[in-house]
Structure 1
Amino acid sequence: MKNIVVMVLFVLCCFTSIQGQNTSIEETETFFPNADVLKEDTIEYKFLSVPENWDDPKSNTIKIAVCILKNKSNKANADAVVFIQGGPGASGVQNIRSWYRHPLREKNDIVLFDIRGTGFSEPRLCPDLGKKFMEILAKNQSETEDEKQKTAEALFCKQDLLNQGVDIEAYNSLSVSRDLHALKTLLGYSNWHVYGASYGTYMAQVYTSMFPKDIKTLSLDSPISEISTYYTKNTTNYISSLSKVFKRCLSDSDCHNQYPDLETIYYKTIADLEEHPITVKVDKKIIASGEFTYNSEDFKIAIQQALYNKKLVEVIPLLIYQFHERNEDALGNLVAAFSSLLGMDYGVYFCVSCNETLPNNKISEYQTDASKYKGLKGGVAFYKSDFKVCEKWNLNRQDTIVPHDLSKLSSISSPVLVFSGEYDPITPLTNGDKVARKFKKGYTVVGHNLGHVPGFTRTGSKVAEFFINNPNKQLDISAFKKEATIDFVGGVALNPGVSKVGNNLSKINLVFLLPLFVALLIMFVFIFTYVIKLIRKKYKTNSDKIIRVLSILTSIVGITGLISLVLALTKVAGQNYFVLAFGLPENFNYIFTVLLIFSALLFITMLYFIVRIKIINDRSIVFSVLFSNILLVTYLFYWGIL
């Protein structure tokens, strides 16, 4: 009884302390009004109100978006798993599709939140900054000019935030940790399971150090081991992971035969693009100018980002060769994927990075590390430029920025699961063991054949579910050895239209596709009706027979080609959808042959119709089916398939 009283007093004390800091939580409407599948689920949407500056009693109040996916077992007092997203600046709430069917939901509530300043949280800091960076990268200009313009845009963002009264120094891991502590208390959890991903692993470590009693278990997916080397070792981390691709391709006879001298071609492409960038056409919704120019820096960051995802790792040899061969059509299709890299909230990215990351990394050490790789020509400017941004960002700052003291982590008794991906280019495999050794009960699980955040794979989800629900049981640290090995993509029939068809069909626009659906319906009806009439010998003249046979044959071949194309797209997308940016595997070459035959038959049929038009009966009906075929071939030309 005494223990219960002490516990109640402790909770009340914490709650009173939280209330004293002007915090509250309130329900709100769904953040996803158009997602019908989520409306059918048991999900709560809330806003957590906290001080912008926890140490200033007069601080502004900000709102943090929270999404709670209730457990599937309908347990009233279920444990909770809180997810800390990375970036810093990516949205945790928008990651809901990775969690709403996660096996952890069977017994646990899943708490997603957008760290202060991101996503649905209010205020949102400079949400358009990433788009401006994309416009800069799209230009054909030097690395120095890119850095100059990027810095200018970042400083414009900073000044805009200051003009709005935003306390930019209050956006850091310490503040996020206090936000989490307040959220846990106001939601009524005594403690919870914490799951951090990427930069969120660093925030999770800071949170654990500050509030160790909040932590039931800790899962760190692709962890940061030392904040002071997060940037300085960037080049080595990248090249170490990329070298694994080169080595594996060399030992794979199919890959080596199709992509000989892969490593040499990679460095040669960097040198070529320095002298002769590649300008490609892109959708103006992505780049207002309608053009994107790939230079050597864009190439380097594109390959670095490909190492994040297993399916992209499998296309790296193909991707390197497409850059080397200057395939503008295929590279144009990649820009949309490239733009997603800049989809997070860069206002928060620089607030956090300039508050706690870059000041604890030395540009001289970065340059020393990058100088080891002569062919890379100075590391990766996309990351190196952050040093210049933060130098200017912190120009008038008075305080000295020191790393958070994480020495207390060694006394944490909570079990800790650490995921590390074999090909991860930003938080490499070596980080896993370093982080696990910080804790009394740290367990490293290697994501074999995987890149960044391997915990979000099917195998990773099962490992995380077992660990969190059974923290004291033996963990299968070799679970990922059952993961399928890297299967490099080769033998692709290049066709720029494949990607366009895939995008049109994945995001169905009924207004755009309705004429095609009507045309296909007319063709089906014509085939069925006139095959029967021909069998019954309803036509007396050869002209009527021939035009109908030609029209039926053309329609059948056209429909067969289109259906085969859609089925091929579906199959390839299920295996590796990144292949569609380039074309289809060569075993689907017959589809392009069928569509070419369709085009030839249509030409012959139209020519015969024009020549014999005066003696053909029911010309309007025949013309309607011919027009339907013309419409189909028009779509194929528009997509770029033909």
Structure 2
Amino acid sequence: MKKSSIQIFAIIISFLQISFAQEKKTYLPKIEPCPCAFKADSSLNTRCAYLIVPENRKKPAGKTIKLPFIVVESNNPQKKKDPVLFTGGGPGGSSLGIVRSVHRRSLIKNRDFIAFEQRGTQYALPNLGGNEIGEALKTAFRNNLPKDSMIVAGVKRLRERLTAQSIDLSAYNTVESAADIEDLRLALKIDSLNLYGISYSGGLMMTVLHNFPTGIRSLILDSPLPEFINIDEEEVGNFNEALNTIFQKCQNDSLCRIKYGNLKEKFRNYFNGLEGKTFSVAYLEKETGNTLNINYSRSELIGVLENTLYDFSKIKDIPDIITEMINGNHEVYAKKFIDDIFHNQGPSGMRMSVYCSDKMAYAKDNMIKQQYKIYPYMAGAGYYLNDVYRSMCDCWKVPPIAPETKMAFYSTVPVLLGAGDTDPACRPIYNDLIHHYMPNSQRLLFLNRSHGPLIRQDGDGFIEKFLNNPYGKIVSDKSDIIAY
């Protein structure tokens, strides 16, 4: 008689003592079956459980946390024994929902697929989510109050609530998350893993490789943010590089050039001229039915452009949106930006902890300021391209991660790298830098795409070829996807 999923997990637990004794750990990770937050298509078998590990590995006898994961089994009777493990980006995003579509992906053809929830995210216990920061920002918009000071007040409230629950905020960082993935590999007795990361988790997967190299067969990194990049020192430049890519394409296209002229110059002249100017718009708050008179400035207009750059279907509309703004028709866009604010909870406690310990702790203020000398229309805009910044981290008070985690390293492990040419966050140059340190990596540049193009349908065939033969040359026959 076939054993149930719970029985299978119970058998796995019996092997843990021997496995972790060999690893000379001072704690014993455990696996505990749990209900599935999501299930794959009924054609595939789905198993769900928690990985239970110390919240802080420096205190192995202390509090434990529960991290859910979902194993989706391939139906291939000749499947390989090296599953793909995926975890999401952010930091702060959930990782589990991808199992709902895995039956349509090449990931499941020849090997099992594991979706692993990072510590502190939505389905983990504890979950460091909260709406304190989002509510503070809404209050600022409703009453036209200074946004920075209101956000800092929200940060303080979120921190107070989480610490009152005895949550160790210093334990939510990339080093601990990398150790979680290694513990899961050992607990499931997997000899070799293919790691799949997107955005922030691209850097996380590189950290797993750096800290625990023996169990890694390959990496798939989609728009990765390497740990050795201090994104705050580059985000303004990254945003403008993405815009410049669109401006240049428009200039090279005769129809676009005729319709929009020298769009780059027009954009810069207009936005430089908005310094100190404020507009107002009547905004209907749907939840309350109240009509609010909300002030906005070039800050919110820049936010509209950033959000549009992330929307694959709207990238082509950016020349028209900028032209409409220049012509003074920007109320509709301001309302859309405010809509997004009123339906967003703001950064979670997990995002705050990771971002402040990994990124902001190593960012240099003089480098951050230098960006604004090159792009003066961004200076004083009052809009942060990243939703976690210095004054917030000053309140969050978590120590920096170990310096060696921020250092680049060399590896011969094969890597598939994807990037979009209009990505305003993780530019294609990051893949070039990774390639320098990882010579067995291959790069795909998706034209007219933004953040995370590899995880979409266009990238699926390349992922299949790579997993089947990680050292084989990746070739693209599509003019808008460049393999190099």
Change (3 A) 1:10 1:112: closer
1-structure distance, mates of 2:378, 2:277: 14
TM-score normalised to the size of structure 1? 0.66
1-structure distance, mates of 2:296, 2:94: 28
Asked if structure 1 preserves the Cα contact closer than 8 Å seen for 2:358 and 2:400, the reply is no
- Shift in Å, 1:413: 3.0
1-structure distance, mates of 2:103, 2:345: 22
Q: Which residue of 2 aligns with 1:537?
A: none
Change (3 A) 1:104 1:455: same
Counterpart code for 1:84: T
1:433 aligns with 2:441: no
Counterpart code for 1:28: C
Q: Which residue of 2 aligns with 1:203?
A: 204
Give the alignment of 1:453-602 within 5 angstroms.
Answer: 453-476=452-475, 478=476, 481-483=479-481
Counterpart code for 2:313: K
Could you list the per-position Cα deviations for residues 333-361 of structure 1 after superposition, in whole angstroms to 9, with x for gaps in the alignment? 56555667x56752111111111210100
> Could you say which structure has the greater relative contact order, defined with CA pairs below 8 angstroms and 6 or more residues apart?
2
Asked if structure 2 preserves the Cα contact closer than 8 Å seen for 1:282 and 1:335, the reply is no
Asked if structure 1 preserves the Cα contact closer than 8 Å seen for 2:281 and 2:295, the reply is yes
Q: Which residue of 2 aligns with 1:356?
A: 358
Change (3 A) 1:470 1:83: same
Q: Secondary structure at the match of 2:118?
A: coil
Asked if structure 2 preserves the Cα contact closer than 8 Å seen for 1:322 and 1:331, the reply is no
- Shift in Å, 1:73: 1.9
Q: Which residue of 1 aligns with 2:109?
A: 106
1:332 paired residue among 309, 331, 335: 335
Asked if structure 2 preserves the Cα contact closer than 8 Å seen for 1:223 and 1:435, the reply is no
Q: Which residue of 2 aligns with 1:22?
A: 28
Q: Secondary structure at the match of 2:155?
A: helix
1-structure distance, mates of 2:96, 2:184: 15
- Shift in Å, 1:195: 1.0
Q: Which consecutive unaligned segments of at least 5 residues does structure 2 have?
A: 1-14
- Shift in Å, 1:190: 1.0
Q: Which residue of 1 aligns with 2:393?
A: 390
1-structure distance, mates of 2:435, 2:380: 32
Counterpart code for 2:114: V
Asked if structure 2 preserves the Cα contact closer than 8 Å seen for 1:282 and 1:333, the reply is no
Asked if structure 1 preserves the Cα contact closer than 8 Å seen for 2:178 and 2:204, the reply is yes
Change (3 A) 1:358 1:70: same
1:179 aligns with 2:180: yes
- Between Structure 1 and Structure 2, which shows a larger proportion of strand residues? 2
The number of residues matched between the two structures is 465
Q: Which consecutive unaligned segments of at least 5 residues does structure 1 have?
A: 1-8, 485-642
Q: Secondary structure at the match of 1:464?
A: helix
Asked if structure 1 preserves the Cα contact closer than 8 Å seen for 2:445 and 2:481, the reply is no
Counterpart code for 1:310: F
Q: Which residue of 2 aligns with 1:123?
A: 126
Counterpart code for 2:427: P
Asked if structure 1 preserves the Cα contact closer than 8 Å seen for 2:191 and 2:215, the reply is yes
1-structure distance, mates of 2:375, 2:92: 30
Q: Secondary structure at the match of 2:473?
A: coil
Q: Secondary structure at the match of 1:166?
A: coil
Could you list the per-position Cα deviations for residues 10-68 of structure 1 after superposition, in whole angstroms to 9, with x for gaps in the alignment? 99444664885232112222214xx8x74564222221111101121232111112122
Asked if structure 2 preserves the Cα contact closer than 8 Å seen for 1:302 and 1:338, the reply is no
Q: Which residue of 2 aligns with 1:64?
A: 67
Could you list the per-position Cα deviations for residues 237-265 of structure 1 after superposition, in whole angstroms to 9, with x for gaps in the alignment? 11111111112122333333443453345
- Shift in Å, 1:415: 0.8
1:319 aligns with 2:321: yes
1-structure distance, mates of 2:54, 2:256: 55
Give the alignment of 1:72-83 within 5 angstroms.
Answer: 72-74=75-77, 78-83=81-86
Q: Secondary structure at the match of 2:232?
A: coil
Q: Which residue of 1 aligns with 2:372?
A: 370
Q: Which residue of 1 aligns with 2:247?
A: 246
2-structure distance, mates of 1:449, 1:47: 39
Q: CA RMSD of the aligned region, Å?
A: 3.2
Could you list the per-position Cα deviations for residues 563-609 of structure 1 after superposition, in whole angstroms to 9, with x for gaps in the alignment? xxxxxxxxxxxxxxxxxxxxxxxxxxxxxxxxxxxxxxxxxxxxxxx
1-structure distance, mates of 2:52, 2:388: 34
Bigger shift: residues 362-371 or 73-82: 73-82
Q: Which residue of 2 aligns with 1:443?
A: 442
1-structure distance, mates of 2:412, 2:392: 39
Q: Which residue of 1 aligns with 2:7?
A: none
Change (3 A) 1:253 1:293: farther
2-structure distance, mates of 1:286, 1:98: 36
- Between Structure 1 and Structure 2, which shows a larger proportion of helix residues? 1
1:87 aligns with 2:90: yes
Identity %: 21
Counterpart code for 1:161: L
Counterpart code for 1:30: C
Q: Which residue of 2 aligns with 1:49?
A: 52
Asked if structure 1 preserves the Cα contact closer than 8 Å seen for 2:79 and 2:110, the reply is no
Q: Secondary structure at the match of 2:114?
A: strand
- Shift in Å, 1:274: 4.7
2-structure distance, mates of 1:96, 1:282: 37
2-structure distance, mates of 1:419, 1:287: 44
